[in-house]
Structure 1
């Protein structure tokens, strides 16, 4: 019996930022269609794509889409994929929401891989006074009351320290993308890209829980 396609979100790092690596969203959507995806939609110009695909196709998109962009536009980008269920988990488990924080100050960094505990331990919780962050699995929840432009909690800082690749989205964008995944009534078999991560590590200075069954490294400090 054929397996229905499921909804996914692709988040691109490094396009249409500061006038560099300009990429038409229409061209980007075509790349996903050519790769075997359907119901392709893009959201704003920072590289957000919602699509339907079989899990086998979705799993190969980070490398195939990145390669296609390099070939056609000559720029290198990173592509992070999350299933609709994984994105829903991100929204449902934001620890800052439970503290009544202004959602306009919230962001999420989506990581390509789960960072190693020894690299997480190297993060400086006092690096950006006024800001706070928590790491849960492949996601970093951030609160930036003074704005992202003034924060020292940048993609480059997390990438360099955690030895992985991240791409940042504000909370409004995260919620909008989740809403877009629910526009289609059909539900297929989603691939859980993180299902092999089962153990949990908690930092002692964190007082916030974590989703069951997820490997989590949590660091929470607010100055």
Structure 2
């Protein structure tokens, strides 16, 4: 079995697409996935399974749809998550101030929209299928956070650097026991 990471977009956000993590893990185990772990309630999974990234993402999305949930799924190899953490183009004061947007397609960045919404110190960088957003004033208060997909020009799912770091620690612990 191969180790994978799944990032679910819009799960348990603002009361929409609600699913307890225990139920999500059980759903994944029902797909034949093994050693399923979750991090936070927003749909971050580490699991072992056979299949391509696209096949695994489609299987989970179909299973979620069977529960009435419309949740896009992105499956990544552990190396891609590690590359994201080590490739951050910003040096934030706190890891929660930088978000990596994992893109579901080719970005078409609207730099004019970014410039209109940005506060002093905000930064935006695209690199290797990721859209990085630095919001020193806080992601929750940023106008950019609310319009990130419009800026990217493509759907994405974002995670802050702190969450990504914790997922990498979970991967490291998993790989040490393999």
Taking structure 1 as the reference length, the TM-score comes to 0.71
Verify the 8 A CA contact 1:37 1:52 in the aligned structure 2: yes
Measure, in 1, the Cα distance between the counterparts of 2:26 and 2:38.
Answer: 10
Q: Unpaired runs of 5+ in structure 2? A: none
Aligned to 2:39: 43
Give 1:119-158 correspondences, 5 Å limit. 119-120=108-109, 124-126=113-115, 127-130=117-120, 131-154=122-145, 157-158=147-148
Q: Output aligned runs, 1:1-223, within 5 Å.
A: 5-54=1-50, 56-72=51-67, 74-97=68-91, 101-115=93-107, 119-120=108-109, 124-126=113-115, 127-130=117-120, 131-154=122-145, 157-185=147-175
Cα root mean square deviation, aligned: 2.2
Distance 1:137 1:107, change over 3 A: same
Q: Aligned to 2:131, what secondary structure does the other structure show?
A: strand
Q: Which has the higher helix share?
A: 2
Secondary structure of 2:143's partner?
A: coil
Q: Deviations over 1:171-197 (max 9, x none)?
A: 110000111112223799xxxxxxxxx
* TM-score, length of structure 2 as denominator length: 0.87
CA distance in 2, matches of 1:37, 1:139: 27
